[in-house]
Amino acid sequence: MKTIEDLEVTGKRVFVRADLNVPLSGATITDDGRIRAVAPTIAKLLARGARVVVASHLGRPKGEPDPQFSLAPVAVRLGEILGAPVAFATDTVGESAKATVAALGDGEVTLLENLRFNAGETSKDDAERGAFADELAALADLYVGDGFGAVHRKHASVYDLPARLPHAVGDLIATEVGVLKRLTEEVARPYVVVLGGSKVSDKVGVIDNLLGKADRILIGGGMAYTFLAALGHEVGISLLQKDQIPTVLEYLERGKANGVEFVIPVDVAISASFPDLKTKAPVEDFEVVDADAIPADKEGLDIGPKTRALFAEKIADAATVFWNGPVGVFEHPAFAEGTKAVAQALLESDAFTVVGGGDSAAAVRILGFDETKFGHISTGGGASLEYLEGKTLPGLAALEG
Ligand code: ADP
Ligand code: MG
């Protein structure tokens, strides 16, 4: 793969496919981690006199303009981070985009409106995607792929566009791939994997692949209840994916056979209902019970104190830790303790620590941890997971050669 240093960028229009898919509350960016992550690549190109055209998706609009998914607030924040004005095009490949790009001087930058306001971006039809990629290609001379969070998508701007322009990999993707190699090929042991989040089905492939690589797999979050149910415990009204129980049982078996230790919660924090994440109203019936004593009418929403200590102990001597998925509903303070404890355990270990997953990365920041103290905080949840599953990622394949 070529890096941006290999490109002759001065005076050239350089298309940077970034992942600026940040969480928004109205027009307010609640976590700007992804913007900050790609800013150095853009700054480097600007310093070399490139005319930078940044593009990204945001949320899941349905192939047409939808103001709630506008990148306008991101343009403002990107400008603040770069310390330079960012011209915002109010469409992606239309009149505004053409005019804004044409007006760029050397060392100036524009952000195009949401790629997914165009049906061609995500189309399953090669011709439709290709036609949109042609329109994008007309706006640039060179392509830099740096939207790590989107490299697992076979989308026009990720997969088809680099085939149409001389291309290179941006610094963010280069770093991410280097980290992923340390989690798959050049692993320092003991290697501990902490998995949480809401659904087992999201993480099944990762467990499958890491069962051959990790020494310990710690299971928290909503997926823990499918593990507990597989072990025959009552899980009340907790998140449960019954159809995944056979898979989970097979993993537990394979773990035994491969000498991979599964660590399942021994106690959990429960309530009769899912907490209100908007008002963050106190949880009146908050209670901690052993994991084999969840009442039928209660929902498990975090790991309990015994599990926090157990997880910390299992992380303490690690040389490599990969963590994906909050171990509780951290968005509510009553159920954030488990996620805090995991973050703290990572910081206290001497391991190379990697946090993957959009919500996990946001959790680290929202809960007040210093992100620079972690080995690496990945910007791409799905992309990291698919890489760890052993899959070929279209956006990386497109940057080869
Ligand atoms: P990531 O984006 O880091 O990959 P996921 O998207 O898989 O993480 O999961 C994050 C979500 O999982 C959070 O919104 C959190 O509230 C939720 N979650 C964690 N524990 C539970 C639980 N016990 N029950 C329901 N949801 C949970
Ligand atoms: Mg998520």
Read off the pLDDT of residues 335-353 as tens digits, 9 standing for 90 and up. Answer: 999 999 999 999 999 999 9
Average pLDDT over the chain, rounded to whole? 96
pLDDT one-digit tens code per residue, 33-56: 899 999 999 999 999 999 999 999
The whole-angstrom separation of Cα 273 and Cα 301 is 9
Q: Does residue 116 have a known ligand-binding role?
A: yes
Is residue 122 within a helix (H) or strand (E), and if so which, with residue range?
helix 119-122
Ligand 1 site, residue 380, Cβ cutoff 6 A? no
User: Is residue 401 predicted with pLDDT exceeding 80?
Assistant: no
> How large is the average pLDDT for residues 292-304?
98
pLDDT given at position 232: 97
Residue with CA closest to ligand 1 atom 7: 197
Residue 45 CA to ligand 2 center (angstroms) comes to 31
- Identify the residue whose C-alpha is closest to ligand 1 atom 9: 197
- Is residue 382 among the annotated active site residues? yes
Q: Where are the alpha helices (DSSP H) in 48-116?
A: 72-82, 95-102
Measured from the alpha carbon of residue 355, the closest ligand is 1
Which residue among 219, 270, 273, 329 is best mutated to probe the pocket of ligand 1, counting the most ligand atoms within 8 A of its Cβ? 329
Specify the 3-state DSSP secondary structure of 286.
coil
Catalytic residue (choose from 358, 380, 381, 395):
358
> Is 203 assigned to a binding site?
yes
The CA-atom distances, in angstroms, between 2 and each of 97, 169, 273 are 27, 6, 52
Higher-scoring residue by pLDDT: 202, 352: 352
pLDDT score for 21 = 94
**The 191-195 sheet, strands edge to edge:** 261-263, 216-219, 191-195, 320-324, 352-356, 376-377
pLDDT above 90: percentage of residues in the chain: 91
In the DSSP assignment, the letter for residue 396 is: H
Measured from the alpha carbon of residue 303, the closest ligand is 1
pLDDT (tens digit per residue) in 116-145 = 999 999 999 999 999 999 999 999 999 999
pLDDT bracket for residue 357 (50, 70, 90): confident
Catalytic residue among 34, 48, 129, 308: 34
Ligand 1 centroid to 328 CA: how many Å?
Answer: 7
Q: Is 51 a catalytic residue?
A: no
91 annotated as belonging to a binding site for a ligand: no
Q: Is the pLDDT score of 379 beyond 80?
A: no
Lookup: tokens for 327:
């171990």
Are 352 and 223 spatial neighbours (Cβ–Cβ below 8 Å)? no
Q: Tens of pLDDT along 242-284?
A: 999 999 999 999 999 999 999 999 999 999 999 999 999 999 9
Judge if the beta carbon of residue 175 lies within 6 A of ligand 1: no
Closest ligand to the CA of 196 = 1
Q: How far is the CA of 198 from the centre of ligand 2 (A)?
A: 8
pTM (global) more than 0.75:
yes
